[in-house]
Structure 1
Amino acid sequence: MSFLKSISGLIRPLNGQGSILHTSSLNNITQIRTATKKVSGSKTNKNDSAGRRLGPKAYEGHYVQPGQIIMRQRGTKIHPGENVKIGVDHTIYAVEPGYVRFYYNPFHPLRKYVGVALKQELKLPTPHFSPRVRRFGYVELTDPVKAQQEEDRMSRKEYEAQSELTNEFLKSEEYRQNVTKEFAQSLKDEFSIDLDENKLQVVAHRFYEISQLVKNGLSLEEAKVQASYNHIYNIELAARRGEVSNFEEAKKENLSVFNDIDNKVQLDAQGRLCKYLNAQERESLQQEISTKLAPFANRILSKEDKKTVTNLIETPGAYTTSEQSLLREQYLPEIVPWTVPGSVIENIDPENPPKDVVVQRVFDGKTRSTKVIGRPRDIVA
């Protein structure tokens, strides 16, 4: 007991807060910290949310129906392939009945895809130049009432857009009839084309098709070939329906009329009928126009000058649409270059310029510095 008392006498509180000094007989002092904070259980974050059940819902080779979910995910870890679609929450679902296939696309080797093969023996992806496999499965409706109901079926958006679509169709049809009528009248009066009324309407409609194809970016020669092909194909369809007795004879007759007309009349870049010009005549006309345009180069043009230049550039049959665009950039630029004489006003106050002057900063290549100049408002606006 005397030994324990002597040891307990060596242990005494250090600061009254739970830290003590422990002294051994070897005169080594060690500090020991004890817990003084009362610990209580936490009530927050105990209840975790339910899992979102992400992951595949149909696996390789499983048969799925349209609308069935194949994959739920966050982000496109799996990309949609053939015969499937992806929702706003990246859920991939089938749009055709078939068998699930997970695969890699050789054009995107780092992406994994999932698709639906329409037959069990098919593999995905479909080879690049192979025709796409499609599911038909349609049943012929023998009841005319049900057939008409199926034909008239449309979505809500289609139904609501019918009035607008009908108005647009009527406007386009009215425009087509007016242009065709003008072409037919011009062929008869200005170019003395002697054809019966039916053939004249066919030729006028062909010129209308050519004008629309040229507006869509085709060249004049390409538009002629395409319009002729469309007309011959319509005759072939009429022959299949039994409306034309001899297709070859009708085809030969129409092509002969088209070739004869094309050697007399052509369309210019503005879609107007004009006299046909061969390559030599066209080149001669272009040289004559270039001579007339030369005095208008590199100078400020008045309104009358601009009108004259426009008429020269739009001479019927002289230039194509692209050639006219290049000439307009050269002779009728939207902003006159500041190198044109008279287009720069020197020594102006940039803080208080005149009302008819626009202040600009330009780089002078000779002095390699930026300077402030004034320009007439009517040539830069």
Structure 2
Amino acid sequence: MFTSKLVSLVCDKVKTSLSVGHQSIFQVRTATKRAGGSRTHMKDSAGKRLGPKKGDGEVVEVGQIIMRQRGTKWYPGENTGIGKDHTIFALEPGFVRYYLDPFHPRRKFIGVVLNQKDRLPYPHFEPTKRRFGRSLIKKPEAAQEEVDFKKRKEEALLPQILQAASEREEKRSQRLAQLREEMTQFIQLESSEAKDLAAERLVSIDRFLKGGKSLEDAQFYTTYNYLYDLKLELRKNAITQEQHDAQSQEYTAVAKSVDENIMFDHSFNICAYKTPETIKQNQAAALEELKTIVVPNQPRTKELKEKVLSILKSTDNCFSLSQQLDLKRRFLKPVLSEVEGLVADKPGKNTVTILRMNHETRKVDTVYRPKEAFLP
């Protein structure tokens, strides 16, 4: 009887636990974190204020913005600049112009003109219109202060600049004195003024030659610069018309006598003038002489080398530096060809060992050359 009561009590507890704990057995897990909502609020971003800020014909000052854009839809034209964000701004005070350029048909330009009646583009290959923006300083102290003003970098570099200028002027004066003394061997001038003009002309021609100009171009530009300076002096009323004409005639006569008697060689030393026909004849004769004294694939001595160099550097032949280099490569080869008599069978005191890669056998070949095969 006790056992039956115990069994019935256990069964009742099992039924109660199943009925009460049904949710724990068949539990469905739900989210425990609160969901975040979207925050659109139906609002748009602020405008970037792009587009033109000045219309065609409007007045602008330096630095004022004319166009804001994304990408270079409009390009900077006359007196305008462009920023890193493609903003076009004025570089000069004036009037805005929107225009097209026939030299760039696929681009639209924005420019600034200095006068209200001007139109863009300006005619090409004409002087640029610009405004200096200068004003007269009436106070002498302020004017002198403006003249003496220098930037900090200029002030720091001023001693070096002055020293370099003085060195250049000293070299030029030395060159002038040297040419004045040497030109007496080729030309005789009466007055000291004419000698000074001739020496100055030779110095100017020398500078043009060292800058890469030909002799004819150097002579032309030297004459042109001198006569142009005389015209400037006449415009400034520093000289009269009679003085201008007299000095022009005097310089023209001196230049003619100098050009007909003096020329420069390849080393920029003055020598007697020779016509182009004479130079060609002398060079042809020098080539024939070189062909006779230099035998192909024959050992060269020091005496032969010096003779060849003296022919190449002779002022009578007037070989240029490039011509001398080509003739040296032709007649004074550093190493002769490997012909019979210029290749040794074994090493010795008078041989030079050369290691050479043989690309056919993919091995290093050893070649013995006598010293006569090399230029002394």
Does the pair score TM above 0.5? yes
Q: Is 1:101–1:124's contact at 8 Å kept on the other side of the alignment? A: yes
Q: Is 1:357–1:374's contact at 8 Å kept on the other side of the alignment? A: yes
Shift of 1:309: 4.0
Q: Is 2:355–2:364's contact at 8 Å kept on the other side of the alignment? A: no
Aligned to 2:176: 180
Aligned to 1:314: 313
Aligned to 2:205: 210
SS of 2:55's equivalent?
Answer: coil
Over 3 Å counting, the alpha-carbon distance change for 1:361 and 1:57 in structure 2 is farther
Of residues 58, 80, 105, the one that matches 2:54 is 58
Shift of 1:227: 0.8
* Range that drifts further, 255-264 or 140-149: 140-149
Aligned to 1:265: 262
Kindly indicate whether residue 130 of structure 2 is the aligned counterpart of residue 149 of structure 1.
no
**Higher-Rg member (1/2):** 2
Q: Distance in 2 between matches of 1:144 and 1:96?
A: 29
**Residues 173-322 of structure 1 aligned to structure 2 (within 5 Å):** 173-188=169-184, 190-191=185-186, 193-239=188-234, 240-242=237-239, 246-294=243-291, 295-296=293-294, 308-316=307-315, 318-319=317-318, 321=320
Identity of aligned residues (%): 32
Q: Is 2:286–2:311's contact at 8 Å kept on the other side of the alignment? A: yes
Aligned to 1:4: none
Q: Distance in 1 between matches of 2:189 and 2:245?
A: 24
Over 3 Å counting, the alpha-carbon distance change for 1:129 and 1:242 in structure 2 is closer
Q: Distance in 1 between matches of 2:230 and 2:110?
A: 46
Shift of 1:285: 1.4
Describe the superposition over 1:38-74 as per-residue Cα deviations: whole angstroms up to 9, x where unpaired. Answer: 7423689x99997765544333332110122223445
Aligned to 2:6: none
Q: Is 2:187–2:261's contact at 8 Å kept on the other side of the alignment? A: no
**Residues 312-351 of structure 1 aligned to structure 2 (within 5 Å):** 312-316=311-315, 318-319=317-318, 321=320, 324-332=321-329, 341-342=337-338
**Residues 35-184 of structure 1 aligned to structure 2 (within 5 Å):** 39-41=35-37, 53-136=49-132, 138-184=134-180
Q: Distance in 2 between matches of 1:246 and 1:226?
A: 22
Aligned to 1:26: none
Aligned to 1:29: none
Shift of 1:277: 0.8
* Range that drifts further, 146-155 or 292-301: 292-301
Q: How many residues align?
A: 332
Return the TM-score normalized by structure 2: 0.70
The structure with more helix, counted as a fraction of residues: 2
Over 3 Å counting, the alpha-carbon distance change for 1:132 and 1:372 in structure 2 is farther
Describe the superposition over 1:145-164 as per-residue Cα deviations: whole angstroms up to 9, x where unpaired. Answer: 33333334444443443233
Shift of 1:202: 2.0
Greater relative CO (CA pairs within 8 A, separation 6+) = 2
Cα RMSD of the aligned pairs, angstroms, is 4.5
Q: Is 1:104–1:113's contact at 8 Å kept on the other side of the alignment? A: yes
Task: Give the counterpart letter for 1:187 in structure 2.
Answer: M
Over 3 Å counting, the alpha-carbon distance change for 1:275 and 1:166 in structure 2 is same
Task: Give the counterpart letter for 1:281 in structure 2.
Answer: T
Q: Distance in 1 between matches of 2:62 and 2:71?
A: 22
Shift of 1:241: 0.8
Over 3 Å counting, the alpha-carbon distance change for 1:63 and 1:359 in structure 2 is farther
Shift of 1:127: 2.2
Task: Give the counterpart letter for 2:259 in structure 1.
Answer: D
Q: Distance in 2 between matches of 1:358 and 1:195?
A: 68
Q: Is 1:346–1:373's contact at 8 Å kept on the other side of the alignment? A: no
Task: Give the counterpart letter for 1:287 in structure 2.
Answer: A
Task: Give the counterpart letter for 1:268 in structure 2.
Answer: D
Q: Distance in 2 between matches of 1:82 and 1:107?
A: 14
Q: Distance in 2 between matches of 1:301 and 1:208?
A: 40
Q: Is 1:289–1:312's contact at 8 Å kept on the other side of the alignment? A: yes
Shift of 1:243: 8.0
Task: Give the counterpart letter for 2:158 in structure 1.
Answer: Q
Task: Give the counterpart letter for 1:279 in structure 2.
Answer: P
Aligned to 2:9: none
Task: Give the counterpart letter for 2:178 in structure 1.
Answer: E
Over 3 Å counting, the alpha-carbon distance change for 1:298 and 1:159 in structure 2 is farther
* Range that drifts further, 82-91 or 291-300: 291-300
Q: Distance in 2 between matches of 1:89 and 1:355?
A: 68
Return the TM-score normalized by structure 1: 0.70
